[in-house]
Amino acid sequence: MNQLLKGAYSQRNQSMSSKISEIHTYNFINELVFGITELVNSAKNQIGLNTFGYRRFLLDGKSFGFSTNSSWNRTFIEHFSDSNIVEYENSLYEYLSTDKTIFLRIGEPNQKSIYQQYLYANDVWNNLSIYRKNSKDNCIEVFFICSTREKVGLIESCMNKIEYVNGLVDSLQEQINSKLNANHNRYFSESVNNETVLHEMSDFLHKGVIPNKITATKTKEYFNSNLSLLSNRENEIVLLLAKGFKRKQIALSLGLSPKTIDTYIDRLKKKSNVLNKNQLMQVILG
């Protein structure tokens, strides 16, 4: 009987401790949301934002995140805290192993994904997520710009106002990082346990990524001319064109407007002595 009473008492204490921990987490999330309210309200007017979300990934696989959607915050804490989330692992791996920094979630949710089903049910959908490396805090940050199930124009709005979106993310990052520090590690929970992803993350944050830029030799191979080397920005655009990126995707990736990308493409056409973009692609792809 004593053992049963001890077991019941222990379970009760664990339950109370868990509830207290949840209350602290909710309070901290509310503090973070309050700090970015002005920025979020501005984004609602500028690009039609409905929900903003944030997540920080640490090297040990733990993460912490929050959103301006209180229903989704409750859902995540109740159903996904200390859970391995495949969607996180997949997007992280793609970000770490490629040049892709922008991810979209549109259309219908994957019927096999409980995580996506819950997102959809909470009306956090048709979203764009921006991944950034934070060398200072040795972590990866993700910024989620979300619409709703019914409103599908947010993505296009973001692409048309990409300078604004990048400035918004800069401001949100500064504001959040001023509040979130090592003292808040108790709010982090397990979310990634794939060893390959964790290894890639460690390499990425500790060693950095060697920019895959076109060297002088490659420039001659691509353009077969004695013109001066391409600028760093032109190098980046050529690489993205070679990977099949469209002008709006390039604009989104580099934080520029589509019109600015058109200007760079025109410069590349002149440097390579071609008349149109199709001929430029033939030169780039060899």
Whether the Cβ atoms of residue 138 and residue 85 lie closer than 8 Å to each other = no
Q: Set out the domains of the chain in order of their start, with CATH numbers.
A: 2-207 (3.30.450.80), 216-285 (1.10.10.10)
Residue 31 in this model has a pLDDT that exceeds 80: yes
Split at pLDDT 50, 70, 90, the class of 48 is very high
Higher pLDDT, 11 or 155: 155
Q: What is the DSSP letter of 109?
A: P
Mean pLDDT of 102-130: 92
Higher pLDDT, 57 or 14: 57
Q: In what order do the strands lie in the sheet with 62-67?
A: 102-105, 125-134, 139-147, 51-57, 62-67, 189-190
For the full predicted model, state whether its pTM sits above 0.85. no
Residue 102: the pLDDT is 86
Residue 186 in this model has a pLDDT that exceeds 60: yes
Tokens standing for 274?
């071609």
CA separation, residue 178 to residues 31, 157, 173 (Å): 12, 28, 8
pLDDT in tens, 118-137: 999 999 999 999 999 998 89
Whether the Cβ atoms of residue 144 and residue 151 lie closer than 8 Å to each other = no
Tokens standing for 196?
């390959």
Whether the Cβ atoms of residue 145 and residue 127 lie closer than 8 Å to each other = yes
Tokens standing for 53?
């979300």
Mean pLDDT of 245-262: 84
Phi and psi, residue 12, nearest 5°: -65, -45
Residue 160: the pLDDT is 81
Q: H-helix or E-strand containing 104?
A: strand 102-105
Mean pLDDT of 243-263: 84
- For the chain, give the percent of residues with pLDDT over 70: 84
Tokens standing for 112?
């096999």
CB atoms within 10 A of CB 11: 10
Residue 172: the pLDDT is 97
Amino acid at 228: S
Mean pLDDT of 208-215: 42
Q: What is the DSSP letter of 186?
A: G
Looking at every residue in the chain, the average pLDDT score rounds to 83
